[in-house]
Structure 1
């Protein structure tokens, strides 16, 4: 690609202006910015990989208006617009079967925005959602060149690093629960659940024992981090992911001989008691508290379950009052704060405790945007999962087992994200929007690959 001379000239003038200004020490930063911009212009997929790697570390920049991921994302957006304008990237790459749901979802979103109960809260919600939409478009444009193996490595390493930080330092914990660099332990558990299938794939694909041990150590850190989060939803999602993985590799399980079962049972006999012993007592208590669901959760049995039940009650009432367009994007906390539940479950009556989000993305969208928009959002995610299933099937028809395995592990990771949205209010989660765009890209790439001719 030819780097535009106009951009070089503009940044050169900026450097000269900075040298002549009272802040000449900023001029080297402009030069570094030019070098970074040039690198991203030639290798835009590096920017997307950088954003994916920086997601677990966003807490470092929570008090800053400018973070690494924002800077990379803004640069990528400008670069891709330039490349589209100069026809260096074909506009056909924007094609995706996700658009049929996303366009109508955004139409209903803006109609709900016009009818909102609080314009300030809705505009803040739109600003957050726009980050995911920009990442969706960026991934559509450059997803075909994305190195999926490197993507898996960076995500696994980044999340594993934050797991190590959270396990061995109370600074990265929230009331004893690991939160990494995020504010919510469940949000941290979501990242771990997404990274575990990718880490297991790296173990399977490792070329030698040393690599296998390294990625195995990363997976142990991920599992330890999940335990330290004390997330019940994370435990359920992780168990489901492992079951799906065993089903995918069921053909390889037939290679296990009776003599191997003894070693496997011995390993389980050692690992399971050690895991139970190392598991925090609070986590065991939280898991045992799920038994109250059979008799109906009450606030005095488990405050967390009672609070989540109150979200469902309030959200259901909002849906009944405004079934078509909802109460407006981001307005669930406004309605929840006016109920008795807000005071009952508030520890210190602070504003942040009263104005609570639904901790359920689907419930939030149905209540804030209406039933039609909620159905479109669910359909969008379901279509993404279906895209990965079709991509896996296409690679299996072409006898490319490595690509089929990659689709399986990415599919399990994406499924983990969609399931976790039932326990978190995260409609702008970066991995969700990157993976959503990637599903259609990977399906098109798989179906356009030539079929392997079978010999008679």
Structure 2
């Protein structure tokens, strides 16, 4: 405890200096910093849960420098460095089967930076991926202490809160589409798709009526928020994850009795017409426009699909020109801006609107970093899914059905993120890197737990 006490003494000295300075009103902040560091030192997992809860609410702090999430993340990283230095956290926790892909990916990332077409854009991209890597390491170190049911509750509540704000306030909408506290309705739809499996888990596992009403209400808010985003990709991803959930619970279908089926049909008869009535007319038109995919995406019939098709054309050309190391991290917008597509699909006609990202993380990775780095990134995601599958199998082997169901719903959330990467440039998304690290942590916890004793 010598180092933490020294740190507290330093913060106390800073408080006294602030009281004597022209800015005495900053002194209470230093005091709160002392309390926060002490709490994080005793319960670092609380800090990670706080970051998880802040992800959907980051828009509230976008005008502050630094933001609350950055302060919390930096403080947590400092505390963990101190605990590693005094061996309070074993360094063995950093071991993971994900490093074999991640180290290779980062080596190729830096090699691509050496040959980048624009160093400034690559440095911005490096900053974003660095934050994601810090979260990855933090989760490996303290993921064992994190209560995953609390994780599910915090994600569900924070995303549901933003859904409520976006549905009933124009301030949190973008041209009529719900964007929550974020700038992009599709990014908001990603958060909703990630939260829905967790909300369903809480609904199914709640012991009391009031708790089920709470989580059932959150599920309705999430579904309403998804509808309000008018995101076609969000709808597709949500339906796929729900089908995965139905497949998981298929063994329980024989337990449904005729009277249960009657109540289900009554509920469907009420919910489906209300959903169609509440669904924006523009959303129905956007969903119907997906039918043109069978004949090819035409910009004249659907500008959004035509724009996404242009990303694929530009990205494919970039891969052909630089297949090994790509054009450099973050440089896709630079290459897209000089094409005719940029002017043709410019929404606002402004110069900045010409620089558009690929809206496909896989395409962007392959085109900016090269084919080898893209394959390593895909291998990293696939290993994360494999870890969760092994964790679920280990819990089933130990007859821990509740833990197996938890891992299944977490897998559904990770699958929703991976599917959404087909429609968004979100390689540095915080939930993605936290879930990748947690996949290894959950596998280790499951495989290291004792096996049940065999009955004679």
Aligned equivalents of 1:60 and 1:453: distance in 2? 52
CA contact (8 A) 1:178 1:185 kept: yes
Name segments (4+ residues, structure 1) moved above 3 Å.
none
**Correspondence for 2:422:** 422
**Correspondence for 1:38:** 38
CA contact (8 A) 1:51 1:72 kept: yes
- Mean CA deviation greater in 48-57 or 245-254: 245-254
**Correspondence for 1:341:** 341
Shift of 1:171: 0.6
What SS does the corresponding residue of 1:349 show, helix, strand or coil?
A: coil
Q: Give per-residue Cα distances to partners, 1:91-130, cap 9 Å, x unaligned.
A: 0000110000000000000000000000000000000111
CA contact (8 A) 1:3 1:41 kept: no
**Correspondence for 1:48:** 48
Give the aligned length.
Answer: 456
Gaps of 5+ in 1: none
**Correspondence for 2:287:** 287
Shift of 1:9: 1.6
Aligned equivalents of 1:51 and 1:351: distance in 2? 35
Q: Does 1:27 align with 2:27?
A: yes
**Correspondence for 2:105:** 105
Q: How does 1:201-350 map to 2 (within 5 A)?
A: 201-350=201-350
Aligned equivalents of 1:350 and 1:301: distance in 2? 23
- Mean CA deviation greater in 244-253 or 403-412: 244-253
What SS does the corresponding residue of 2:333 show, helix, strand or coil?
A: helix
CA contact (8 A) 1:325 1:369 kept: yes
Aligned equivalents of 2:446 and 2:347: distance in 1? 52
Gaps of 5+ in 2: none
Shift of 1:276: 0.9
Q: Give per-residue Cα distances to partners, 1:172-206, cap 9 Å, x unaligned.
A: 00010000000110000000000000000001111
**Correspondence for 1:95:** 95
Aligned equivalents of 2:23 and 2:274: distance in 1? 58
Aligned equivalents of 1:384 and 1:203: distance in 2? 26
**Correspondence for 2:147:** 147
Shift of 1:3: 6.4
Aligned equivalents of 1:23 and 1:267: distance in 2? 60
Aligned equivalents of 1:348 and 1:400: distance in 2? 55
CA contact (8 A) 1:3 1:38 kept: no
Q: Does 1:371 align with 2:371?
A: yes
**Correspondence for 2:62:** 62
**Correspondence for 1:75:** 75
**Correspondence for 1:381:** 381
TM-score, scaled relative to structure 1: 0.99
Q: How does 1:430-445 map to 2 (within 5 A)?
A: 430-445=430-445
CA contact (8 A) 2:111 2:325 kept: yes
Shift of 1:2: 6.9
Q: Give per-residue Cα distances to partners, 1:23-79, cap 9 Å, x unaligned.
A: 122111111110011001110000000000000011112233211110000001100
TM-score, scaled relative to structure 2: 0.99
- Mean CA deviation greater in 269-278 or 296-305: 269-278
Change (3 A) 1:388 1:2: farther
What SS does the corresponding residue of 2:255 show, helix, strand or coil?
A: coil
Q: How does 1:116-155 map to 2 (within 5 A)?
A: 116-155=116-155
CA contact (8 A) 2:414 2:432 kept: yes
**Correspondence for 1:160:** 160
- Mean CA deviation greater in 352-361 or 268-277: 268-277
Q: Give per-residue Cα distances to partners, 1:360-380, cap 9 Å, x unaligned.
A: 111000000000000000110
Shift of 1:302: 0.3
**Correspondence for 2:356:** 356
Q: Give per-residue Cα distances to partners, 1:109-162, cap 9 Å, x unaligned.
A: 000000000000000000011110000000000000100010000000000000
- Mean CA deviation greater in 157-166 or 243-252: 243-252
Shift of 1:425: 0.6
Aligned equivalents of 2:225 and 2:299: distance in 1? 28
Aligned equivalents of 2:243 and 2:267: distance in 1? 19
Q: How does 1:188-207 map to 2 (within 5 A)?
A: 188-207=188-207
CA contact (8 A) 2:3 2:82 kept: no
Shift of 1:8: 1.6
- Mean CA deviation greater in 201-210 or 268-277: 268-277
What SS does the corresponding residue of 2:326 show, helix, strand or coil?
A: coil
CA contact (8 A) 1:336 1:356 kept: yes
What SS does the corresponding residue of 2:58 show, helix, strand or coil?
A: helix
CA contact (8 A) 2:326 2:370 kept: yes
**Correspondence for 1:181:** 181
